[in-house]
């Protein structure tokens, strides 16, 4: 997986002290791309059996979620840890 860009998410969560970003990928997300996110610290959930397979990584500082086949996923992060977005982009850039 290659993350090519980020943008502020249209679904804001700033009232809770968090920021959200949509991270754009070079290609639609595959099973392999989603499995790569297991390296992130936190609980990993991947519902492959759904019509639109859904994944989520939860940590006390962030939540990553998305759908297989989309060319982006959402990264919501506590305002004090926004630098984690850039770290993830470097890891998968």
Residues 14-33: pLDDT tens digits? Answer: 557 889 999 999 999 999 99
Convert the pLDDT of each residue in 42-79 to its tens digit: 999 999 999 999 999 999 999 999 999 999 999 999 98
Report if pTM > 0.75. Answer: yes
Is 84 within a domain? no
Residue 15 or residue 89, greater confidence: 89
Asked whether residue 22 is domain-assigned, the answer is yes
pLDDT at 16: 74
Beta strands in the chain (DSSP E): 3-8, 18-25, 43-47, 54-58, 62-67, 72-78
| Structural domain harbouring 71 | 5-79
Q: Does residue 86 register a pLDDT over 70?
A: yes
Q: In this structure, is residue 88 part of a structural domain?
A: no
Chain centroid to Cα 11, Å, comes to 14
CA distance 38 to 17: 25
Residue 89 lies in a domain: no
Counted domains in the chain? 1
Whether 70 is covered by a domain: the verdict is yes
pLDDT of residue 77: 93
């Amino acid at each position: 997986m290659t993350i090519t860009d980020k943008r502020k998410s249209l679904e804001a969560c700033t009232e809770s002290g968090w920021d959200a970003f949509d991270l754009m990928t070079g290609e639609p997300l595959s099973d392999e791309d989603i499995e790569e996110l297991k390296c992130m610290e936190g609980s990993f959930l991947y519902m492959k059996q759904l019509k639109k397979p859904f994944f989520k990584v939860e940590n006390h500082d962030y939540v990553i979620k998305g759908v297989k086949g989309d060319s982006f996923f959402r990264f919501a992060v506590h305002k004090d840890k926004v630098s984690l977005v850039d770290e993830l982009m470097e890891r998968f850039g």
